[in-house]
A and B are shown apart, each in its own frame.
Chain A
Amino acid sequence: MLDPARRTLAVKARGLTLTETPVRQLSRLVFRPLFGSGEAPPLEAPAIWRVVRGPGDTDRETIAPTTLRPYSEEEERAEPTPTATPAPGAEPTEGKPSTYRVALDNGWQLLITDAPPRLGWLRRFGASVADGWQRLRGREPSHPPLVALVLAGEDARALHHLFRSGAAILVAPAG
């Protein structure tokens, strides 16, 4: 549940708050001409946004054996089994990014990041030049509107796997 008024992103089930993450900054990012104005399409709330495609769908290691050999019980039994003491603590952050996008069913994307988006004039000018160059070459880059959530890096990584297709995000009114 995204609560813009309280600036929190919470995982809830039947009223239980399983985990709650503070949102440091919440903003809308809309692609528009550098020398012009563009209005962001309105976001309605309360609403349920559904994840169409997220990092929980795409950021995966793939195991793809090219051939299979006949099963051998003896061969499998020969493999050693480690039975040492349990690891003392969890290892939560391995390999997960702290900045990623989540495509939503309303055409918007969530930008989860641990650093505020840099939107200074020079940076926007550079981005506009790059975008203009792409368009000049006949490419039409996709720039969906974004809801940017700035979280602590560890929090962003902790939520990474939850954004799978079908996941529902309840959005409360901004107040």
Chain B
Amino acid sequence: MIPSTPPPSLAAAPPEQPLAGAAARRRGAGLARALRLAGLALAAVAIVGTGAAAGLARYGGAYAGSDFETRLALPPGDELPRDPEAKASRLEQRLARPVRANEVYVTVDTHRNVLRIFRGEELLREAICSTGSGVRLLDPRNGKEWIFDSPQGELRIWRKRRNPVWVKPDWAFIEEGYEPPKGMRDRIDDFSLGDYALDMPDGYIIHGTLFQTLLGKRVTHGCIRLGDDDLEFAYKTVPVGARVFLY
């Protein structure tokens, strides 16, 4: 007699399991194939990319560093002074004694906004000041340009004034959005410069300010502004003709 039911080992297995296993194996194989392909593609991209990069790198260039060296440059022999060492020594002495021992002079550090007054090597006063803003102003009517830098280099005080009056130039109005007035009356300002003014060439002035809170900042139109006490000290100490070194 033949049994009508399959053996227990076969009967226990659900009929779907062999199909699911095969599907999983197929999925695994597919994933592995995809990974292989991706790897190959990445390798190809890397090879091509590296080759292209190497090609571009060969085509281009880059900065390379080396020590700072100089070649001594002297004029031709016939242009050399007869006694170059003596001339060099004289020049060195001139450079080493630029100001007389008791000469009063002024330095202005336009980065740190500090004005110093010296007599020879003695520091007489150090004061916080305001210096040029560096702003560029454009006149909308004709494109004229003003740059509000404090000058650099060496200037001299050529005049000192008490209760100075300022004749406002065009930029003082344009900066505020006004048309410069035609008449002189509107340009006269007898209070903005403070009690004293020390004039330098080209309209640059060491003067006082109404804007004490802005001392120590770069806010001016090129002039050097000082607080009241420092300005009075400068007026009384710095003579006409004194050098002003601005840097």
Contacts and interface: CB of A to CB of B under 8 A. Distances in A.
A124 B64 contact: yes
A81 B210 contact: yes
B35 interface: no
Given A71-B178, A136-B56, A64 B140 contact: yes
B118 to A, nearest CB: 9
Contact of A87 (B65, B176, B216): B216
A102 B61 CA distance: 22
Contacts, number: 244
Given A63-B175, A71-B181, A125-B57, A43 B213 contact: no
Given A83-B210, A86-B216, A133-B60, A28 B179 contact: no
B72 interface: yes
Nearest to B74: A46
Contacts of A62: 135-138
Contact of A70 (B134, B179, B215): B179
A69 to B, nearest CB: 6
A45 B71 CA distance: 6
B117 to A, nearest CB: 14
A23 B94 CA distance: 27
Given A62-B135, A68-B141, A28 B68 contact: yes
A149 to B, nearest CB: 9
A134 B61 CA distance: 11
Interface residues of A, number: 85
A125 B140 CA distance: 49
Nearest to B127: A86
A38 interface: yes
A115 interface: no
Contacts of B137: 62-64
A72 to B, nearest CB: 7
A92 interface: yes
B136 A63 contact: yes
B163 interface: no
Interface residues of B, number: 69
A34 B110 CA distance: 43
Contacts of B213: 82-87
B135 A4 contact: no
B216 to A, nearest CB: 4
A27 B140 contact: no
Interface string B204-222: 0000001111111100000
A131 B104 CA distance: 56
A66 B140 contact: yes
Contacts of B136: 60-63
Interface in B19-72: 53, 55-72
Contacts of B245: 13-14, 16, 18
Contact of B56 (A85, A132, A161, A173): A132
B73 to A, nearest CB: 4
Contacts of A38: 64
Contacts of B210: 81-83
Nearest to A157: B111
A59 to B, nearest CB: 8
B178 A85 contact: no
A73 B9 CA distance: 110
5 contacts: A30-B66, A34-B60, A65-B177, A86-B216, A164-B152
Interface of A: 4, 11, 13-16, 18-19, 26-35, 38, 40, 42-47, 56, 59-73, 76, 81-92, 117, 119, 123-125, 127-136, 143, 146-148, 157-162, 164, 167, 171, 173-174
8 smallest A-B Cβ distances: which pairs?
A14-B98, A132-B60, A131-B60, A132-B56, A44-B73, A45-B70, A132-B59, A127-B62
Given A44-B71, A70-B179, A81-B210, 11 more contacts: A15-B96, A19-B247, A68-B178, A71-B181, A83-B210, A89-B216, A119-B63, A119-B65, A129-B53, A135-B59, A135-B60
